[in-house]
Structure formats: C-alpha cells, structure tokens
Amino acid sequence: MPRVVDRDEKRRRILHAAMAAFARKGIMKTKAIDIAQEAGVGKGTIYEYFRSKEEIFVAAFQLFFSNLNYNIERSLARTDDPVQKLKIIIEETMQGFLQDDGKFAELIMEFWAEGVRTKDPNMLGAIDLKKLYSDYRLFIAHVIEEGIRKGVFMSVDVMVTASLIIAALDGIGLQWIMDRNLFKSPVIAGQLFETLLEGIRKK
C-alpha cells in the first residue's frame, strides 16, 4: 500500500524547518536546500508547497500569528474580567514574540530591513502590517471598552489607549532584541501591565 502523506503536517514541518534555518543563517543567506535539509526532505519537495523563499516566510509569519491568536483567545475564554483579559493579552503577546530567545522577532525585523534597503516591493508587500496592527488595535480596544462598560476602567479614547499599549510592547521587544540581558520577559510583562493598568483603572 502506498504511504499516505499528510500534506498539512508536512507543510507545517517545512515551515518550522524554515524558521530554524532562517534563525541560524539569516533570511537572505538561507537557500531552499538549507530548508530542505532542515526538514529532512528533498529540495524539490519544498517547491511542491511553496513557490519562493519569501512565500515560505510569509506562511511562517501567518502560522506564528495564528498560533499566537489561538493562545490568547483560549486564555481569554477562561475569564470575564477585563483586567485579567488585558493582562493575558500583554503576557501572551510578549511571550509569543520573545520565545526561542526572540529569534522570530529578529527575523521580522531582518525581513523588513532588507525590503526597505533593497526597495523590493515583493518583500515590502509580503506582509500586511497595516492590517495586522489594525486588527490587534481593535482587539485590545474591545477589551478596554468592556472594562469601561463594567466600570473598572476610566472613560478613555479606546483606540489611542490600544495604540499606546501596542507601542509599549513594540518598544520593549525592540530593546530586548538589542540587549538580551536588559530584563527577563515575564518580569517586564508584569511591570508593563501594572503600569498601564494604573493609568486606566477607575479610581
């Protein structure tokens, strides 16, 4: 009997292998053969699933955010408390981006830096960061709105507040990538949450 191939599982294996290869060699220096060797498949197999290295990176990017959103939503389903929901969003986001010693966050930065440097429209347009930020901003804004309705948060501009939270997360992530010894991610996540909460908690 011919062996049944789980295409979805093999695709995920290729994506995880690609991220490992990207982290080790950098996006620009990684070749299809590097990804194939990491995944334990032939080079031709890579092109059965993806047309280019950029397409692999975009798919890995989407898989990462899909997993991150799943983890956040699963945790949010356990509570009706807007304060706890905000804490979950901050902690899960930081944990997701800084996992594996922050390698994925570094890869995103490298991908965009190279796109800007080369003015490559394929790279610059590969990931819709505008939509990503917009969706995330609305996600946080809804939690803040819920907190205002329940009387635990002050009446604030929810979109501006959500933008400030995202800016804080971005800034902390960037600083941590530049200096891994600056702080430990679980500690800084807790401190960031307490600082933000103090600014919007209804007195």
DSSP string, 75-97: HHTT---HHHHHHHHHHHHHHHH
pLDDT higher than 70, residue 17:
yes
Q: Identify whether the C-beta of residue 140 lies closer than 8 Å to the C-beta of residue 132.
A: no
The one-letter amino acid code at 135 reads: D
**Proportion of the chain above pLDDT 90, given as a percent:** 31
For position 73, what pLDDT does the model report? 92
Which residues 6+ apart lie within 8 Å of 145 measured at CB?
A: 158
Q: Please tell me the number of Cα atoms within 13 Å of 144 on its side-chain side.
A: 24
Is 201 strand, coil or helix?
strand
- Top mean pLDDT of 76-90, 100-114, 126-140, 169-183 is at 76-90
**Per-position b or e across 155-168, b if 16+ CB within 10 A of its CB:** ebebeebbbbbbee
Q: Identify whether the C-beta of residue 102 lies closer than 8 Å to the C-beta of residue 180.
A: yes
Q: Please tell me the number of Cα atoms within 13 Å of 143 on its side-chain side.
A: 27
pLDDT per residue as tens digits for the range 65-79: 888 889 999 999 999
pLDDT higher than 60, residue 47:
yes
Q: Identify whether the C-beta of residue 15 lies closer than 8 Å to the C-beta of residue 60.
A: yes
Q: Identify whether the C-beta of residue 196 lies closer than 8 Å to the C-beta of residue 86.
A: yes
For position 97, what pLDDT does the model report? 77
Which has more pLDDT, 93 or 2?
A: 93
**Proportion of the chain above pLDDT 70, given as a percent:** 85
Q: What's the mean per-residue pLDDT of the chain? A: 83
> 33, 53, 34, 55: which is closest to 44 by C-alpha?
33
Question: Where are the strands (E) in 31-112, listed by range?
Answer: none
pLDDT higher than 80, residue 186:
no
Cα angle for residues 70, 76, 79 (degrees, 5° grid): 155
pLDDT per residue as tens digits for the range 155-185: 999 999 999 999 998 888 788 777 877 776 6
Q: Identify whether the C-beta of residue 57 lies closer than 8 Å to the C-beta of residue 22.
A: yes
Q: What domains are there in the chain, each with its CATH number?
A: 1-50 (1.10.10.60), 52-200 (1.10.357.10)
For position 43, what pLDDT does the model report? 87
For position 1, what pLDDT does the model report? 46
pLDDT higher than 80, residue 148:
yes
For position 2, what pLDDT does the model report? 47
For position 199, what pLDDT does the model report? 85
pTM over the 0.85 mark: no
